Structure 1
């Protein structure tokens, strides 16, 4: 009996080790892919006579940097950040954008923020007014401390209200799972604000909707690639993009 117990214990440990190695391989692969995409985006030449195309290229690279930061956060904490943190009364405190500041080269700004107080508390007034270029599309007309890059937050999305989502919970293909969505200026929010995009924003745009860059919203996928969502995309396809934890394969 002792030998059988030892055998089962060893087998369980082996399975656990294999699962950990698999998750580590996934993290490493995703980080490598997104890092390469960001480097290529920075090196890609942009014609000075085509300002619209240049803005779109910068915007896409911003989203790639945000994706890389989110995956770096996951690599450190073994879970994606919550859409926002909360206090003891479950009142929102800070956005995921604040949590990834160190991963986009904004450690000093991050250190200046009192995470125990709400984002709009007077103690955070200076940080709240700061401009973070990675969170800002160069073509936007909104205030400098606003962002047009929102997480998609639904019951089945990657980022959850005040809860961390583990990669093991994701059932959909990473390449078909939206984490970040670009919005137009009228839907922009202060980057420190714990506000994001709900299901209705992704499901509601169409051919007559004013779209970012006159093409379609830039979407950042869980596998690290960036795509433009066409306004003619069928509703069932859109819904699948934000149904990360539903396994319908």
Structure 2
């Protein structure tokens, strides 16, 4: 979780906001999730450069990247790393008040401050693909 927190802070330093929890087009096409947006800050830049952000997370053009296992978004000791259809999983979910549909929340909007606000946390079940645009609870 420390790496995720640092990556969120580095994303904020670069973009002046947190990543959107998920990018959803006006026609309701679900594109990518917040973890995909943070890949350059999670030592996954090569995968990030292969993504087609004009295509959805389920598209064949993005499938190779989203089938990857990303250790940084896995919880040690949890053995489930892939969906039945092959997508790489995560056991990390974002705070739905900060990382949600097409969001661009800034640290200044966190009235309790960043020290008292959780950005992401581990979950114990119902794991989702790390690229899923609705990875928040």
Please give the TM-score of this superposition, normalised by the length of structure 2: 0.89
Deviation at 1:123, TM superposition (A): 1.2
Whether contact under 8 Å (2:35, 2:131) holds in the other structure is: yes
SS of alignment partner, residue 119 of structure 2: strand
SS of alignment partner, residue 76 of structure 2: coil
Superposition pairs for residues 44-55 of structure 1, below 5 Å? none
| Counterpart for residue 78 of structure 2 | 140
**C-alpha distance in structure 1 between counterparts of 2:73 and 2:10, whole Å:** 17
| Counterpart for residue 183 of structure 1 | 123
Deviation at 1:89, TM superposition (A): 1.8
Q: Please, which runs of 5 or more residues in structure 1 have no aligned partner?
A: 1-62, 199-249
Deviation at 1:131, TM superposition (A): 0.9
Deviation at 1:80, TM superposition (A): 0.8
**C-alpha distance in structure 2 between counterparts of 1:82 and 1:171, whole Å:** 19
Deviation at 1:88, TM superposition (A): 3.6
- Which of structures 1 and 2 has the bigger CA Rg? 1
Deviation string, structure 1 residues 130-185 (Cα, Å, up to 9, x no partner): 111101112112134110001021xxx2223212001221111322211101011x
Aligned counterpart for 1:150 among listed residues 93, 112, 115: 93
Whether contact under 8 Å (1:147, 1:189) holds in the other structure is: yes
Matched, 1:163 2:103: yes
Please give the TM-score of this superposition, normalised by the length of structure 1: 0.51
Q: Please, which runs of 5 or more residues in structure 2 have no aligned partner?
A: 83-87
Deviation at 1:70, TM superposition (A): 0.7
Q: Higher helix fraction: Structure 1 or Structure 2? A: 1
Alpha-carbon RMSD: 1.4
Superposition pairs for residues 150-229 of structure 1, below 5 Å? 150-153=93-96, 157-184=97-124, 186-198=125-137
Aligned residues: 132
**C-alpha distance in structure 2 between counterparts of 1:174 and 1:116, whole Å:** 32
Whether contact under 8 Å (1:87, 1:116) holds in the other structure is: no
Whether contact under 8 Å (1:146, 1:190) holds in the other structure is: yes
Deviation string, structure 1 residues 185-209 (Cα, Å, up to 9, x no partner): x3211111112233xxxxxxxxxxx
SS of alignment partner, residue 178 of structure 1: coil
Whether contact under 8 Å (2:101, 2:134) holds in the other structure is: no
